[in-house]
Amino acid sequence: MHDFDIRIMFQIIGALLYITNFLLLQTHRIHATKPASLLLVISACSILLTAAIIGHDWGLILLEGTWLFLVTTTFAIRQRSARRQAVLEREAADSAVAPVRPAPVAEPVQAPVVRERELAGAAA
């Protein structure tokens, strides 16, 4: 019987996660920059990096480590951006002012009617 090698199991699981992500992207069920896709890739990278470390596969360690760093950075930036957007939307909703009703129109004040005779008499 063959000895059980944990690396093979890690490699198969990591590959299946990559394939699952690829199929979901191709069928437009998820988008590449959405958290679901990024988390699938992060999981696959982590598992394959673990298998590479166990086997001392330096090329694969470098490849998967770099890929894991890039995807994790993208995920962190997207999450921070989403949190900022949520805070801005919440602040905008909190600072929204209720619609202002127009003030009632006051009757115009009419100046007293001054007749020409009164003015002429005042001048004399």
Chain segment 16-63, per-residue pLDDT in tens: 999 999 999 999 999 998 999 999 999 999 999 999 999 999 999 999
Task: Give the contacts of 21 (CB within 8 A, at least 6 positions apart).
Answer: 30, 37, 40, 41, 44
Q: Lowest-pLDDT range, 17-26, 73-82, 114-123?
A: 114-123
* 60 C-beta neighbours (distance < 10 Å), count: 16
Residues 49 and 68: beta-carbon distance below 8 Å: yes
Place of tokens 């949190």: 83
Q: How confident is the model at residue 95 (pLDDT cuts 50, 70, 90)?
A: confident
Residues 76 and 42: beta-carbon distance below 8 Å: no
